[in-house]
Amino acid sequence: MTLLRSIEIAQQLFKENWKIVIVSGLVCGVAFIIAGLVLKYKLEQFTSSNTKDTSEFKMFYVNWCPHCVNAKPEFEQLAKKYKRSGAVKITMIDSEQNPESAKAHNVEGYPTFILTTGSNNSAYNGSRDFNSFDNWLKATLKL
């Protein structure tokens, strides 16, 4: 089959099925709009949760970073401790899966640790081990 014949067949199919093509395009457009609204809602939900009086200690990471790989088990241990006590929410955020969250917190390197209390953010720059995280939280939040 020649290229010209292929083009003629495609044109004939479009003439016969133009309604299906247009409806399919509209459905895809609506799906993209809905997906955008859901993403915007999730981002607003994330940022509005930061204005409450609760504290949240966040670790922004990427899976390919060796420093993140080493810090994750220590941070997970911290999350287990504070999940029981409820004194502070511990959250791990994959920046590749949640780029909006990383951008909203001005994350430029990995791992990045941020404590959010109300509308205030405090960067953690200490050692990346359980005891250092825990001691810093106790001192900062007066736990």
Q: What is the pLDDT of residues 115-143, one digit of tens each?
A: 999 889 999 999 999 999 999 999 999 98
Q: Do residue 60 and residue 117 come from a single domain?
A: yes
CA distance 31 to 26: 9
| Domain count of the fold of the chain | 2
Structural domain boundaries enclosing 113: 52-141
How high is the pLDDT of residue 34? 61
Between β-strands 55-61 and 120-124, what pairing exists: parallel, antiparallel or unpaired?
Answer: unpaired
CA distance 20 to 72: 50
This prediction has a pTM of 0.63
Q: Do residue 127 and residue 78 come from a single domain?
A: yes
Q: Do residue 107 and residue 130 come from a single domain?
A: yes
Q: Do residue 79 and residue 104 come from a single domain?
A: yes
How high is the pLDDT of residue 50? 41
Asked whether residue 96 carries a pLDDT value surpassing 80, the answer given is yes
Q: Do residue 95 and residue 65 come from a single domain?
A: yes
Among 57, 49, 63, smallest CA distance to 97 is for: 63
Q: Do residue 19 and residue 77 come from a single domain?
A: no
Q: What dihedral angle (degrees, nearest 10) is formed by the CA atoms of 71, 77, 81, 82?
A: 40
How many other CB atoms sit within 10 Å of the CB of residue 101? 19
How high is the pLDDT of residue 14? 64
Q: Residue 23's pLDDT band (boundaries 50, 70, 90)?
A: low
Complete edge-to-edge strand list for the sheet that includes strand 120-124: 89-94, 55-61, 112-117, 120-124
Q: Do residue 62 and residue 104 come from a single domain?
A: yes
Asked whether residue 18 carries a pLDDT value surpassing 70, the answer given is no
Asked whether residue 59 carries a pLDDT value surpassing 70, the answer given is yes
Task: Indicate the helix (H) or strand (E) that contains 6.
Answer: helix 3-49
Mean pLDDT of the chain: 81
Q: Do residue 30 and residue 43 come from a single domain?
A: yes
Q: Do residue 69 and residue 28 come from a single domain?
A: no
